[in-house]
Amino acid sequence: MAKKQFKAESKRLLDMMINSIYTQKEIFLRELISNASDAIDKLYYKALTDEQLVFNKEDYYIKIAVDKAARTLTITDTGIGMTQPELENNLGVIAKSGSLAFKKENEVKDGHNIIGQFGVGFYSAFMVAEKITVTSKALGSDEAFKWESTGADGYTITPREKDSVGTEIVLTIKENTEDDQYDEFLEEYRLRAIIKKYSDFIRYPIKMDVTKQRPKEGSDDEFEEYHEEQTINSMVPIWRKNKNELTQEDYENFYTEKRYGFDKPLKHVHISADGAVVYNAILFIPENTPFDYYTKEYEKGLELYSNGVLIMNKCGDLLPDYFSFVKGMVDSDDLSLNISREMLQHDRQLSLIAKNIKNKIKSQLQSMLKDERENYEKFYKSFGRQLKYGVYSDYGANKDVLQDLLLFYSSKEKKLVTLDEYVSRMPEDQKYIYYAAGESIERIEKLPQIEVISEKGYEIMYFTDDIDEFAIKMLMSYKEKEFKSVSSGDLGIDSDVEKDQAEAEDSGNKDLFESMQTILSGKVKKVKTSKRLRSHPVCLSAEGELTIEMEKILKAMPN
């Protein structure tokens, strides 16, 4: 029988597919299993709308079988199967999603989701297989067909016997080459690990014959091998479970299993969103700062699943930078996922989910701050700096999200306080929110300028983090109160009388001040009388935008 050619665009795609799109070969199994699961979903959906059909969930499964000697890996499903034209259309045209067409035809109702998001999923099998044979019998059909291809040179379709409805895909695994290893895809343990990694939460059992050992009959020390069929996947993902059924420990185990961190999570958020976009998510706020957190190496992101199938390990688009510490996963059936990350970035559903998640994290942090102050301070110790970077970056675009999550050390309370707490305690005559920047609390407390402000009964926020003052500059004000550095020229506390007095003293000591200025030339701009000194004879103050501390930091930065 003459070989049929793939459609031209398919040929090119196939090449691309095998050579570049997927960096990890192992994902071929994820794709085939997800197709098998889709095929069972379709049957399930048909059964729901057709009274003649009975769907017993137990009869439906996916089976993985290995034959090392023949170098074959077989994936069998008891799904809806494919007719001859379907084999032709679905497997002969790459990037045409058959699932999507089915979805449109059948107007799938909420909850019965058959997704066609992979486009070229099936072809990923050519990354590991030199030959693929698909035998399929469609629901309601008496005949079965075999589709066979060795790659870009085309495919054949011929009639073949098959008893039951469903599809059997046989991959003949490539031989190892110097550069590439393929033998691993014939190893039980490896396959099991891949299934666990990507397809653990597929709703139907994924069965495999596993090799086991037992004592040989009539012998104490001899063992024999035997095979036992096992279900590899755990089927019901924790995020699909009801929150009420889950304990704190369940979430902690999940956190550990997933290796989100080596610590225990400080907080988890379990979301089952049912609005404009439907998704489930479990998010964690870690307790400790990951060792590489404040470095370039750290990569933010959440795991992204589509209908129980892992699509991406770290989807960065799901998290704003200022919440980059959040770990966890998102699962949505609504994603019109595509093969390339760029396309994913422009997905409207994905950005809706991202926005939703951002708000959830924010309100979680807010309620922690309100109801679990101690926990919040733990969190703040680990990740507060990131929030302040968030205020500072993007020209303060995110200040509304973040300003109420900030904490600074208070001169009055001797502990961390929020801006709101500060402002709500301000005496009526206090015009500004005062802050003092320095290396440590101890050093700040020795600043001469502190005295006069404290004497007035005003509270001062101590900034000990490099980023603090920069972030505050971006905020400019909070609840209409401007921020004022204690080292700035005009503190806004001198009365007119005091100002006049100072000016009089300035002119009275003109010669003295001028010669001091000459001596200190290049170090200070001006020497003048101050009314803000108490027990100290002298202090430094800054004029203009940059404070002394900020200048220090900028000078210390590498150019």
According to CB under 6 A, which one of 82, 283, 311, 339 is a site residue for ligand ADP? 82
Which residue's CB is nearer to ligand ADP, number 22 or number 293? Answer: 22
Known binder of ligand: residue 403? no
User: Virtual CA dihedral for 279, 282, 285, 291, nearest 10 degrees?
Assistant: -100
Q: Which does 90 bind (CB under 5 to 8 A by kind): ligand ADP, Mg ion, none?
A: ligand ADP
* CA separation, residue 116 to residues 99, 125, 307, 392 (Å): 4, 17, 11, 42
Is 305 near Mg ion (CB under 5 A)?
Answer: no
Q: Smallest gap, in angstroms, from Cβ of residue 334 to ligand ADP?
A: 15
Is 107 annotated among the ligand-binding residues?
A: no
509 is in an annotated binding site: no
Distance, CA of 114 to CA of 100 (rounded, Å) = 8
Among 30, 33, 64, 116, binds ligand ADP (CB under 6 A): 116
Phi then psi dihedrals of residue 387, to 5 deg: -65, -40
Sequence-separated (6 or more) residues with CB below 8 Å from residue 184: 190
- Asked if 118 touches Mg ion (CB under 5 A), the answer is yes
* 121 assigned to a ligand binding site: yes
Answer for which of 78, 167, 411, 541 binds ligand ADP (CB under 6 A) is 167
Tell whether residue 366 is among the known ligand binding residues.
Answer: no
Cβ(344)–Cβ(329) below 8 Å: no
Report DSSP state, residue 524: B
Pick 117 or 547: Cβ nearer ligand ADP: 117
Contact between 285 and 325 under an 8 Å Cβ cutoff? The reply is: yes
Supply 107's token pair: 């107007």
Tokens representing 504 are 């009089």
Coil, helix or strand at residue 274: strand
Judge whether 119 is annotated as a binding position.
yes
* Beta carbon of residue 334, minimum distance to Mg ion (angstroms, whole number): 16
382 binds ligand ADP (CB under 6 A): no
Question: Which strand (E) or helix (H) includes residue 331?
Answer: strand 327-332
How many Å separate Cα 465 from the centre of its chain? Answer: 27
Q: Is 102 among the residues that bind Mg ion (CB under 5 A)?
A: no
- Calpha distance 115→137 (Å, rounded): 21
Q: Is 341 annotated as a binding residue?
A: yes
In order of 52, 93, 128, 386, 515, the CA distances from 183 in angstroms are 45, 29, 9, 45, 85
Q: Which x/- pattern over 61-80 shows residues binding ligand ADP (rule: CB under 6 A)?
A: ----------------x-xx
> Quick one: tokens of 74?
């077989």
The answer to whether 98 contacts Mg ion (rule: CB under 5 A) is no
Span of 88-96, 115-123, 215-223, 249-257 interacting with Mg ion by CB under 5 A: 115-123
The helix (run of H) or strand (run of E) holding residue 8 is helix 8-16
Q: Residue 390 touches which of Mg ion, ligand ADP, none (CB < 5 to 8 A by kind)?
A: none
Residue 125 binds ligand ADP (CB under 6 A): no
For residue 135, state whether it binds ligand ADP (rule: CB under 6 A): no
The secondary structure of 189-203 as a DSSP string is HHHHHHHHHHHTT-S
Does position 119 interact with ligand ADP (CB under 6 A)? The reply is yes
Minimum distance of Mg ion from residue 118's CB (angstroms) = 4
Question: Residue 216 or 341: which CB sits closer to ligand ADP?
Answer: 341
- Looking at beta carbons only, is 9 or 455 nearer to Mg ion? 9
What is the gyration radius of the CA atoms in the chain, in angstroms? 33
Residues 15-54 as x/- pattern, contact with ligand ADP by CB under 6 A: ----------------x---xx-xx---------------
Cβ-contact 264, 255 below 8 angstroms: yes
Q: Does 198 bind ligand ADP (CB under 6 A)?
A: no
Residues 121 and 12: beta-carbon distance below 8 Å: no
CA 290 to chain centre: 15
Stretches 120-128, 293-301, 371-379, 399-407: which one binds Mg ion (CB under 5 A)? 120-128
Distances (CA, A) of 429 to 425, 426, 486, 493, 508: 12, 8, 17, 9, 32
Write out the two tokens for 240: 């699909």
When CB distances are held under 5 to 8 angstroms depending on the partner's kind, the choice from Mg ion, ligand ADP, none that residue 98 binds is ligand ADP
Nearer to ligand ADP, 31 or 469 (CB): 31
Query: How many whole angstroms separate alpha carbon 63 and alpha carbon 80?
Result: 15
Q: Which does 167 bind (CB under 5 to 8 A by kind): Mg ion, ligand ADP, none?
A: ligand ADP
Contact in structure between 251 and 265 (CB atoms under 8 Å): yes
Per partner kind, with CB cut-offs from 5 to 8 A, the member of ligand ADP, Mg ion, none near residue 97 is ligand ADP
Nearest to 173 by CA among 226, 132, 234, 123: 132
Residue 92: strand, helix, or coil: helix
Provide the minimum distance between the beta carbon of 137 and Mg ion in the complex, in angstroms, as a whole number: 19
- Which residues does residue 523 pair with via DSSP β-bridges, in sequence order? none
Closer residue to ligand ADP (CB): 120 or 474? 120
- For ligand ADP, how many residues bind (rule: CB under 6 A)? 23
Binding partner at 549 among ligand ADP, Mg ion, none, C-beta below 5 to 8 Å by kind: none
**556, burial (CB in 10 Å: exposed 0-12, middle 13-18, buried 19+):** exposed
Per CB under 5 A, 35 contacts Mg ion: yes
Per the annotation, where are the binding residues?
31, 35, 77, 82, 90, 96-98, 117-122, 167, 341
Per the annotation, where are the binding residues for ATP?
31, 35, 77, 82, 90, 96-98, 117-122, 167, 341
Interface with Mg ion (CB under 5 A): 35, 118, 121
Interface with ligand ADP (CB under 6 A): 31, 35-36, 38-39, 77, 79-82, 90-91, 97-99, 116-122, 167
